Structure 1
Amino acid sequence: MHGPMKGISVTLRFTPHLIAAVRTMSSTTVPPSPALLQPLNVPYRLLLGPGPSNVPPRIQAAGAQQVIGHMHPEMFQIMDDIKKGIQYAFQTQNPLTIAVSGSGHCAMETALFNVVEKGDVVLIGVKGIWGERAADIAERIGAEVHLLTKPPGEAFTLKDVEKGLSEHKPSLFFITHGESSSGVVQPLDGFGELCHRYNCLLLVDSVASLGGAPIFMDKQGIDILYSGSQKVLNAPPGTAPISFSEAASKKMFSRKTKPPSLYVDMSWLANYWGCDGKPRTYHHTGPITNFFTLREGLAILAEKELRLPTVTTVSVPVGYEWKDIITYLMKNHSIEITGGLGPSAGKVFRIGLMGYNSTQANVDRVLDALRDALKHCPKSKI
């Protein structure tokens, strides 16, 4: 075969291996799915559950941008913007502030995997499913886990926590700020100071509350704080802001053993996010498009200073089956709300009004839809 440039001749020799490869590609035994040969069709839904929330046009536009290389200087600038946006949202000056490439669950594991070692004593505040998840992760690490429990719908007091700290002497105390499974916002004032008095780090989950309920990482003495992108920030799921105080960083980087996960090892991630003052090196391919959308979600938060309650829980009316009402709203009104989670399962509805969805029109729409559902859904006569 002769090339297009004059005077240059290129000869291709087809070896048996190459011919076999070509023949294999042209004679598939598994045909493509007919569905994949059709255009993607995503129906519109008003997402008034506890997350994800609807994505505003500005963030959709960010997600439509062409990708760039994950190690390009322009990408690093966007990551720096994200870091500053998280510092504003968290109200912290912590240098070690990043976004994990994963969901809020991934951030929970990042926090626990890096700060907790086998044999460490950990106290977990459980008032819903997220405390249960944190306890599960800590147990998998091999920590000595103690539970501080409250019934769903209640919050911990300083007296409750001090009793647990005094009894168990933990190195870490976990608590959920916005417990979306029961709809409770946990007051945090005084908790950091109390934990530090007992030489204990304070770890706070703010996945469902960040941007909707006030939280001040530095002023409240929070050592590790994490959240998610898909709630009030209105970005797609897949990135999770997290920040570590100086005390948390010191414990993390003086551990005796490596974290059980390379993917969320903060010694690597700190470098990838430019937090250690060294040239950035490859750790993993970050979710570039998700970083674009997270950056815009944080920018909108900074511009509008959103501070609204996020998830409202409503008791299921007596005599009604919760699944019937949720199904009716989706089928007849294209509205998503969800049922309870964990200890609140089957007892409540969870209605999310977060960021872009926090409008009077959406409140009226979901109330009208609920009235309609109560008229048409069967009610038990028992």
Structure 2
Amino acid sequence: MVFAELEIVVPTFLVDTQKCRKNIVRMQAKAQQHQLAFRPHFKTHQSEKIGFLFRDLGITQITVSSFRMAQYFAQQGWRNITVAFPVNILEIEAINKLAKQLKLHVLVESTETVELLNSYLQYMVGAYVKIDNGYHRTGMDVVHIEKISTVVEAIEQSCFLNFAGFLSHAGNTYQAKNKQEIAKIHLNNIKQMNLLKNTFLGKYPEMKLSIGDTPSCSLMERFEGIDEIRPGNFVYYDAMQLLIGSCQLEQIAAFVACPVVAVHPERNELVIYGGAVHFSKESMDHHAYGICFGLVVEELVKGLQLMDGCYLKKISQEHGVVHVTKEFLAHKPVGSIIYLIPVHSCLTANLMKEDTLYLE
């Protein structure tokens, strides 16, 4: 990838497809090493082109975060999809259309949802019970075994649902500060999921345990009892993953190119055309910079390099204010381009679908 050869006039999301492929190969090899099914989450890239990279490597089953996204990838021929978001029963028409044409899995966490699905489904659907192992976003707590059993039994009694197993997402690893904290969260997740397996496997021998967060899947080597992993962010990585140690700089495959529109040397700041509508307002607490919204990189002869002391300090809708060093500011006049690693590539990719450039 050669930044200097690009003709950038507006904020542009740059994707290095060679790095994407290397990231996919690495994660696929890890899944194979641990005898895990690999069902990558496509919500990060939401891209037909990146989807082809997975398909070319023999991957046939995927995860998405909405039924609309499932429809998008179904149109591209994907026939085994898990929608890893609690069922929105108001989308039952879309659910039935998908279930008619492919192997569909959904998430449930209450008998109410199961009963509604049973009332309106027309085709068979696999159902995972969503488990909360500490993230506290959604899902059932493992300590409530009786409630979980009630939901599993309701699925089994349904005419149109098959009990697929238990699914969790340790999203709290994204708030970890180092590998040790990620390991603690991951091992707790593994422990809790295996408690469920030990309880239910005898009666449901086909059930699976599915987990999927990029920090754990990138760094950990213990997956005892787990059947499937569903990481997504790893295909691009981002500044957050770099900060917590999930990846190295050379593995990051997505950047935002932004024009410089104003220079304020008295404040060591540049203003860029690139704000919340491009990056999102996701921030991270950097150990040296405090709250920031992206990290500045430059492409040198030896490869990409983080520019020390240069970071996206604040953003509004279209504006971005970048704190820089005097040395960096000296060669970035109005009309030049700077390149940044977004804090959360999933959100940035979603916002910049119409301004994405795939680089070979």
What's the TM-score, normalizing by structure 1?
Answer: 0.28
- Between Structure 1 and Structure 2, the one with more strand by share is 2
Specify the structure having the higher radius of gyration (Cα): 1
What's the TM-score, normalizing by structure 2?
Answer: 0.29
